Amino acid sequence: MTGTPDTGDAGATASGPDEETSFADRLAHLISTVHPPDRKPYSYREIAQGVAELTGVSMSATHVQQLAVGARRDPKRSHIQALARFFGVPVTYFFDDDVAERVDGQIADVVAWRDTGARDLAQRAMRLSERDRDTVSALVDQLNSYDAGRERTRRGRKPE
């Protein structure tokens, strides 16, 4: 995964964990993606402190790091529950591939919303009249179609 330690598992991808993903990969994915929009990911120390404040479960920063890189492979149930609560995911995220896939899709949507100008654009569009919002929506649809057509054309060309 981008920005996370390599745990040696082939299941980690840039877009998120897949069905072969370990607990460590999923935790590392949460660490790299679930954070406020105006800052970098939480440090291991911040996670440990946040877990303690939110749940009362004590974990050291080193322990969080070891779980995230796969150095500790058998986390306690209380730590799993506390980390899930801290990151706002169900406990089953760490073990159920279907749940992880659904949650990762939701996280990707939030990250896209957080890391682009989409939120600002949407807030500005909300101040428009309904008619003008419809016009903006139609324009966005046209731009998406145009971009999709350009991408198809680009893929259809052979290298010179």
Per-residue pLDDT of the chain (160 residues; tens, 9 = 90+): 334 443 333 333 344 444 357 999 999 999 999 998 888 999 999 999 999 999 999 999 999 999 999 999 889 999 999 999 999 999 999 999 999 999 999 999 888 877 677 777 888 888 989 999 999 889 988 988 887 777 766 666 655 5
Could you give the 3-state DSSP secondary structure of residue 154?
helix
pLDDT value of residue 144: 85
Q: Are both 78 and 92 inside the same structural domain?
A: yes
Any domain includes 18? no
Taking the CB of residue 50, how many other CB atoms lie within 10 A of it? Answer: 18
Q: Do 36 and 93 lie in a common domain?
A: yes
- Domain of residue 126: give its range: 118-156
Buried b (16+ CB within 10 A) or exposed e, 8-43: eeeebeeebbbeebbbbbbbbbbbbbbbeeeeebbe
Q: Do 57 and 104 share a domain, yes or no?
A: yes
Check residue 159 and give its pLDDT: 55
CA distance 49 to 30: 16
What is the reported pLDDT for 18?
A: 42
Q: Quick one: 60 and 74 in the same domain?
A: yes
